[in-house]
Structure 1
Amino acid sequence: MTETEFLDLADATLAAIEHAIDQLNDQDRIDAECSRNGNVLEIEFLHNGSKVIVNSQAAMQELWVAARSGGFHYRHVDGKWLNTRDSSELFAALSQIATEQSGGSPVIIAP
């Protein structure tokens, strides 16, 4: 994948995550705010101030996630963003992270 293709894909993925969080917030499923600055998406859970940071790393062609539970790297393989360590899928992992950090009922983040 070229750098331009990666940047386009990463941008679309960050936008999809932001849109999903905004929809969950509008549905009162979570209390979170997203802010985006270039290739960095910050999700703040307002009830406890915890944050999740998702950013693209063009040189590595990866998306990186920083959360309370740790740091994770995802590479695009066969149409999915997969964790470079355990092959878990990005949106499933973000759903688990958001559920844990929001302190509420299960949250599903889907593209």
Structure 2
Amino acid sequence: MDALYVYRKIVNSKIITGEAVIVDLVFGLPLVLSLAVVVYAMIYWSIKVAFIYLLPQAMVQLQEASTLVDSPTDEHEISTLEAQHGQAYWQKHTLNTDAALNSTPLKTPNNPTS
């Protein structure tokens, strides 16, 4: 028989009969659960590293962030949007927000209606 199965059976019978000390349950159960997470992580990363070493041709290399920002398609899209909406489009949002903040009265305890 499996040793873990026998251990579970013994622990379950001790819990049911009331022989298990509460300290065993309070400290043992969280320890077992936390170690389960550690074991899962070790297995996950071991498989991941083995996959990288055994099948490096399956990895897809992404472009660097600097090449994505400086691409000519972004410049073309920006110039198209500027031609479509006008040059002031980029400042319109901040100007309206600043004007709205300056014109809106603040609610104070002395003046709750405004």
| TM-score under structure 1 length normalisation | 0.20
**Which structure's CA Rg is the greater one?**
2
Which structure features the higher share of helix residues?
2
| TM-score under structure 2 length normalisation | 0.19
